[in-house]
Chains A and B, each alone.
Chain A
Amino acid sequence: DQQVKQNSPSLSVQEGRISILNCDYTNSMFDYFLWYKKYPAEGPTFLISISSIKDKNEDGRFTVFLNKSAKHLSLHIVPSQPGDSAVYFCAATMTAGTASKLTFGTGTRLQVTL
């Protein structure tokens, strides 16, 4: 039972354009969401996060949008750069309870072309 889904396994975007990565979740108890970026042969690194009390969080070129009613979040990268080429995972958690384990999506491979 995949509680966090990324329906697009891959995405190709031209340098300078906007990249939009999407993520859907089914568990209404999730109240905190994160995006991680992963290069080959490296561990995932934290990118940006959002609490369910917000609908938008921005950090430089990266913006995450949350639509709670639709159980949907998206990551916007503007402008896209070749160094953004990586696999992006969205993750969700329930902040109540111990350890606050993260449930990850299946990932979207972003390729930014010149």
Chain B
Amino acid sequence: DVKVTQSSRYLVKRTGEKVFLECVQDMDHENMFWYRQDPGLGLRLIYFSYDVKMKEKGDIPEGYSVSREKKERFSLILESASTNQTSMYLCASRKPGQLYYGYTFGSGTRLTVV
């Protein structure tokens, strides 16, 4: 069964810490995405990557960066965590051309910044 795996289900970090959220997919997908989900705001795109070493800003990139050194791994980095980055973070991947089935999502990482 194909999978998108996010390394942590729950994470608690302190304000100002550098935080790494890891996402790995085993489907050989070129495209990978990071979203955050907040009540009343739905899913908002933070960053995405067309392929290895390529990245594009999404709708809310401020305070975040990403790394894609290998095809299967897409990391989201919070340079200096703040309380307004407390959220559910969702990673997704897709293969170009497989639009009918959209994305495959991971189970999410619930991040709390205190």
- Partner-B contacts on A (CB < 8 A): 4, 6, 9, 32, 34, 36, 41-46, 49, 89, 91, 93, 95, 98-107
Contact = CB atoms under 8 A, between A and B. Distances in A.
A36 B9 contact: no
A41 B35 CA distance: 15
Overall SS of chain A's interface: loop
Given A43-B90, A44-B105, A100 B56 contact: no
B53 to A, nearest CB: 15
B2 interface: no
Interface range, B side: 20 to 34
B26 to A, nearest CB: 15
A100 to B, nearest CB: 6
28 contacts: A4-B42, A32-B99, A42-B107, A43-B107, A44-B43, A44-B90, A44-B103, A44-B105, A45-B105, A46-B101, A46-B102, A46-B103, A49-B100, A89-B42, A93-B99, A98-B50, A99-B50, A99-B96, A100-B99, A101-B33, A101-B48, A102-B33, A102-B103, A103-B45, A104-B42, A105-B42, A106-B40, A107-B42
A38 B59 CA distance: 21
Contacts of A36: 102
Contact of A99 (B44, B48, B104): B48
Interface of B: 4, 9, 31, 33, 35, 40-45, 48, 50, 56, 58, 90, 92, 94, 96, 99-108, 110
A75 B97 CA distance: 24
A41 B102 contact: no
Given A99-B56, A100-B96, 16 more contacts: A9-B40, A32-B99, A34-B102, A41-B9, A43-B92, A45-B105, A49-B102, A89-B43, A91-B102, A99-B31, A102-B33, A102-B103, A103-B45, A104-B44, A107-B42, A107-B43
Max chain A C-beta neighbours (<10 A), residue from B31, B40, B99 = B99
Given A99-B56, A99-B96, A101-B33, A43 B106 contact: yes
